[in-house]
Structure 1
Amino acid sequence: MDAIEKAIRNALDKGNAEDRAFRERVYRSAFAALDRALQANPGVTVEVAIKRRKAIQAKITEIESEYLPAVPGVAPQIDAPAVEASAGAAPAVDEAGPRASSLAVTVDGPGQPASDAPRSRVLPVVPDIMPDAALPGAPAIDMSVPASSGAATEVAPDRDERRIRGRRLPLTAIFFTVTLLAAIGIGLYFAMQTGVFKTAAELNTAPPEAPPTVEDDDFTPADGANAPAKPGAADQSRDWIDVFSPTDPTHVAAPSDAKAEVMKDDSGPFLRIQSGASGSAIAFDVGQGVLEKLAGKHAVFDIIARAEDGKDTQISVDCNFGELGDCGRKRYAVGQQKNEFLFDVKFPDKHPGSAGTIAINSDFDKQGKAVDVYEIRVSVEP
């Protein structure tokens, strides 16, 4: 006995199964239970819903035949109308049809005397019954069966739909796998680019250099790193090469909104430079002959300067050495005491081809502060 038949027979046992009106209410309850099951499974196709309704109709026909009297000389016949349904909804039924009439029996063929004709049971014509919204007096039908029976009346997709779903699953798995592998590959690439996998030995194999070259505009030198030396701290035994002296200001270029003026006080002669509101820098020439002496060598530049009285400032220094490159951008805090501001450059071993420049902005904050430059010189590391 399958689950549908068991559910209907259990409902019939709860009332007077000999009463045809009671049986009809039970059958309508069966269809209503099926409709609820279909609505709870939105993935069920129209074809599956029709098959399920036909299965219940056939089972009702079989059960109902047991309650009809035997009729002589009649062959069993089922004349069920075609069913049209959509998943989750019951088919429409004419109000003059199954709702208004009770279960009908169709008997075809010539009759025979009761004494001579064989007696057989007639299968009833059970139409596709539309479930009522409310079925007074009809017992509730549970279309599921106990777990111990190993079966349930849950509406399952047909074999074609399972086959289609089986084909979709590998494609979904392949797409997910490819996406995951691509994400892992991108992560590894960026990790390698940023040096995450470098060992401590790889990160510390370079020999320590003298004052590092700074390229960040917002860099404030820490103690001992590109910090200005105290007066006289630079090695006086070096073989210094003059780059600029206030006695010869012809090799200085100041833009239209900047100023450069030679002055003198108790500390000696100096060139007072003042950048314009645009932040333009004053350029000091570095002769081609000087650059030829520095090509292929490690050089240290020394700018001797101080801030204007009572106006501490921050200067920025940029270099352009033509074919020999540059020095990056430097930034120094300049006070009112004369100091030496050092930076080093490793020059490539090639011909410079032309002269270069060292550009100084006297006020990084663009407040019009001035700087007194006493001297710019360079020496080669031994």
Structure 2
Amino acid sequence: MDAIEKAIRNALERGNAEDRAYREKVYRSAFAALDRALQANPGVTVEVAIKRRKAIQAKITEIESEFLPAVPDVAPQAESDAPAVELPASPAAPAATGESAAPPAVSVDEPAQPAADAPRSRVLPVVPDIMPDATLSGVPSIDMSAPASSEATAEVAPDRDERRIRGRRLPLTAIFLTVTLLAAVGIGLFFAMQTGVFKTQAQLDTAPPEAPPTVEDDDFTPADGETGPEKPGAAGQARNWINVFSPTDPAHVSAPSDAKAETMKDDSGPFLRIQSGASGSAISFDVGQGVLEKLAGKHAVFDIVARAEDGKDTQISVDCNFGELGDCGRKRYAVGQQRNEYLFDVKFPDKRPGSAGTIAINSDFDKQGKAVNIYEIRVSVEP
């Protein structure tokens, strides 16, 4: 027996259950108790409230059927519509409002069964949707605010089930969004790889270098307070230069048989145009013994002022032979169309040079016959 039925039956037992007016008051009290319970629980939805009300109405119908007389036995008749059977009114059963209420009439639409087979049964009455009445007197109160049976649990359970369904739905939504984002990232990475976004600068830059000239092996050590090679034009202002080569005195230049060295002049001034041969032979510039004596035991910076032939950028290589004072290692520079300064430094040992030295320049490291204009070669001593 569930809580609703038990509460109604307990209320009926405390009064005259045979009195229909009393029963109706109990039913109204049950509906009023239900409304109070629903109002105390604002989380209950309209659908659940309707189900709870219908459940009480079904229980009232079931209980009320126990107070109706049994249907009399019906003898076999011909196959025709049976007349309506009127049930006698229950004694002392006026309506709750004080008016007399006629007993319900039951229409039998099916042919009657033989008397031997027809069971004696009760007819369930149709109970109207009784509105609650909170001002009834003389009726035991019915408390449905916290039912302990499975009825209240069954009616409220759909809300909890719905919340559980929504709770389960949230992780599924999160998983779907995560998978979608991962797929989008994967597609983006695929297209980025296809379009070469992740290629390095070395892979993308296949053209000849256009950066300012630098020493390839990065062996130039700037003086204290300097952060890099000096700018063109600034070297002459900051240092005391010793002239090593000038185009006005090309006597100290040696060119192999397949190389060329010609003194020329244009708007940029006089220069010596050198061009290495197919064998990659270099043109040598003498460094006098007197110059080397000034550099012995000191840190010196050499400066080659040059530019490429018009429209033909090139790469030059520089080698040195200073006799007892050693060499400068091999240098390599990218030479462009503008007149520029190409610096390298040498730390000379503290010894006396026994002879003059040379600076050899290859005008085209790639052996394509490109020429370079040499305006000046000079050296200074670091303080």
TM-score past 0.5 threshold: no
Q: TM-score, normalised by structure 1?
A: 0.41
Q: TM-score, normalised by structure 2?
A: 0.41
